[in-house]
Amino acid sequence: MDKIISVNNVTFRYAEDSARPALDGVSLSIEPGEWVAIIGPNGSGKSTLAKTINGLIEPDSGEVTVGGLLLNEENVWDIRKMVGMVFQNPDNQFVGSTVQDDVAFGMENLGIPRDEMVTRVHDALEKVNMLPFADREPARLSGGQKQRVAIAGIIALRPDIIILDEATSMLDPQGRAEVLQTVKEVKERENLSVLSITHDIDEAAEANRVLMMSAGKLVQEGTPEEIFSYGDRLIELGLDLPFPERLKASLRKEGIDVPETYLTEEGLVEWLWTLSSTK
Amino acid sequence: MMDKLIFGRYIPGDSFVHRLDPRAKLLGAIFYIVIIFLANNWATYAVLALFAFTAIYLSGINRRFFFNGIRPLIWLILFTVVLQVLFTSGETVYLSLGPIVISQEGIINGIFIFVRFVLIIFMSTLLTLTTMPLSLTDAIEYLLRPFKLVKLPVHEIALMLSIALRFVPTLMDETEKIMNAQRARGVDFGEGSVFQQMKAIVPLLIPLFVSSFNRAEELATAMEARGYQGGEGRSKYRVLHWGRNDTLVMVAFAVLAAALFFLRT
């Protein structure tokens, strides 16, 4: 089969008079079953690129092809069936009043018969290990659980590709690991492609290929190993070191003696509040 | 007082009333509120009260809990009733002071109005206590369906209701967070004069509004990404089941109405 997604020389401006385009002649393609990560600093156009792929944003020029269909106004809804998208804020994409209602939402939109929906909701929740929570309300779920429900809602629609638009950036480390694990499992089982837009090193490491964006352009491409060999420059390029590591680096810059061993956030807090009192 | 007020809350349970179809309960409650205006003497009010108490009994909700929860509202009703008594003129006048008249008719009228209000509150509280908000939305959507003919956006109304309900806890959490953030900056909530208290709410409301608009936009994008294009051609995941008991309840309401017609003067 051909490429699942190909983006050809796409340019987009949010406003006519903006100084530089949000996307500036971007081209990329994704093979079926491939996991591609896009990294880059805030405002580099990563999320904009993701939104052009399922027609949430219409590019000023250039072409987007998904599953062999050239994206246009007529087939945008067919393309959205093929492309599932998980957004950043777990709360603001949870439409249903309970977990199962939310998983069913996308299917309701497509007019899938109820009997079919019931089976698919069950299967999808099982695949993301959220079946025991089927009747829960979103307020009683963690961020990671909500994102897993969002993934269930997507796989229930049997898409070809999942786009993670900074889907783990608002989660705690445990939620992050949970969601990433779920995506990995689902990808293998459903034979999906994954496009993940991320600041998270662990998430980027899962990819077959990492693309780097800067100022609306794709500037680098390589395997995760190649990209990670840039070391400290990664921070400039928009990948986050874990927060305690960044804080330690800043403290060191201020001339404060920080322990070399790895500290968790709590560990660092423990160490910090005893710092002045021992002096 | 807010904790005790049960008006509009849902208490999970598995009683006869809980298991009824939300459409039956909603229709029943509306019907009850309409026919209560047929009552015009002691006998009719007694029948209506008996019906309401039976319904409360069948709901399995603790009576003391129920009445305690309603008490704050009773004071409000008493106030309106007192006004009614003071300004209704009649033939047997007990006291007359300028525009203020206390008459026998006024007092009886006042009692009737009081009973009427209380019964309406009983039935509507019973409805919300025994029905999940979500089921209630489903019932509303179903019952509004005929209005599609006059271009009422029934599906949209139902969707708005259910999204609103779904975001209540989210916004409560957010309010709590903003309150704490403002407290940390020295804002005092619940202290000072009424005017000061009202002013303290402004730094709470504005961030809440801003974030709600952001949420709305993101939610709309997410819905579109999941293929939402309005009510046309949508299927429904939630279904309602009308059972024998629901028909039975409808018959009971019809009998009640017949009894009222028979007993009223």
Token digits of residue A21: 């385009």
Give the span between the Cα atoms of A53 and B227, in whole angstroms. Answer: 14
Give the span between the Cα atoms of A197 and A221, in whole angstroms. Answer: 14
Q: What is the ipTM of this complex?
A: 0.81
Token digits of residue B173: 């959490």
3-state class (DSSP) for residue A217: strand
Give the span between the Cα atoms of A26 and A124, in whole angstroms. Answer: 34
pLDDT on residue B2? 45
How is the beta sheet containing A23-30 ordered, strand by strand? A23-30, A5-12, A61-66, A69-70
- Please check the confidence at residue A250 and state whether its pLDDT lies above 50: yes
- Type and span of the H or E element at B146: none
3-state secondary structure A83-109: EEEECCCCHHHCCCCCHHHHHHHHHHH
Taking all residues of chain B, what is their mean pLDDT, rounded to a whole number? 87
Average pLDDT on A115-130 reads 94
Give the span between the Cα atoms of A179 and B247, in whole angstroms. Answer: 47
Q: What would the pLDDT profile of A149-185 be if each residue is shown by its tens digit?
A: 999 999 999 999 999 999 988 888 888 899 999 999 9
What is the rounded radius of gyration, in angstroms, for the C-alpha atoms of chain B? 23
pLDDT on residue B4? 57
User: B117 with B33: CB under 8 angstroms?
Assistant: no
Residues of B within 8 A of A80 (CB-CB) are 224-227
Verify whether the Cβ–Cβ distance A111 to B165 is below 8 Å.
Answer: no
3-state class (DSSP) for residue A182: helix
pLDDT on residue B100? 79
pLDDT on residue B265? 82
- Type and span of the H or E element at B250: helix B244-263
Read off the pLDDT band of A237 (50, 70, 90). low
Residue A195 Cα to chain centre, angstroms: 7
Verify whether the Cβ–Cβ distance B237 to A106 is below 8 Å.
Answer: no
B263 close to A (CB below 8 A): no
pLDDT on residue B243? 92
Average pLDDT on B198-208 reads 87
Read off the pLDDT band of B76 (50, 70, 90). confident
Q: How far is B240 from chain A (nearest CA, A)?
A: 12
pLDDT on residue A41? 79
Q: HSE on the CB side for B205, CA within 13 Å?
A: 6
Verify whether the Cβ–Cβ distance A111 to B225 is below 8 Å.
Answer: no
Q: What would the pLDDT profile of A9-64 be if each residue is shown by its tens digit?
A: 999 998 877 778 899 999 999 999 999 999 887 788 888 999 999 899 999 999 99
pLDDT: which is higher, B80 or B209: B209
Token digits of residue B17: 């009333």
Residue of B nearest to A140 (CA): B169
B218 close to A (CB below 8 A): yes
B164 close to A (CB below 8 A): no
CA angle, A72 as apex, A71 and A78 as ends, to 5°?
65
- Please check the confidence at residue A132 and state whether its pLDDT lies above 50: yes
- Please check the confidence at residue B47 and state whether its pLDDT lies above 50: yes
With the C-alpha atoms ordered A14, A18, A23, A24, is the resulting torsion angle positive or negative? positive
Cα dist. A132→A27, A129, A141, B50, B162 in Å? 42, 8, 12, 42, 23
Residue of B nearest to A115 (CA): B237
pLDDT on residue B189? 78
Tokens 């929906």 sit on residue? A117
3-state class (DSSP) for residue A1: coil
- Please check the confidence at residue A241 and state whether its pLDDT lies above 70: no
Report the percentage of chain B scoring pLDDT > 90: 39
- Please check the confidence at residue B1 and state whether its pLDDT lies above 60: no
